[in-house]
Amino acid sequence: MQTARPTTPPSAQYAAGQFKTAITLAELLQRVESSALRVGPAQYRRLVQHLSHLLDGLAPGPGLDALLSTFPAAAALYENMRYDQAGLCRSPLEASLATELQAREAIAKARSAMPAA
């Protein structure tokens, strides 16, 4: 008597394949972004479009979070894709706050240096 092997549904296999491809493209984008060597604009555009399409199809969760945490270039792309819905939701709060405080200090300094009207 043969025992039936558990099978992975085709949709899960497809999702796993898409996720692996997204990881590969995210790694490639990270290498392109951090390299002194440049690729052509058409190649870069195709890479970003393909990765965008894959990221758009991935379900939110720990896997996607891990991918975006590992590859900052993919995280920036993902954040830009969703900017109209969530703003800069993946940017660290500390960095955003520090930037705002620096801007306020610069504005205050500029105002104090202006002659009184």
Torsion of CA 107, 109, 114, 115, to 10 degrees: 140
List, for residues 32-88, the tens digit of each pLDDT value.
999 988 889 999 999 999 999 999 988 888 898 899 999 999 998 988 887 655 555
How many Cα atoms occupy the beta-carbon half-sphere of 33 within 13 Å? 16
State the CB neighbour count (10 A cutoff) for residue 79. 16
* Residue 29 · residue 77 · CB < 8 Å: yes
What pLDDT sits at residue 48?
A: 96
pLDDT beyond 60 at 14: no
Structure tokens at 90: 């993946």
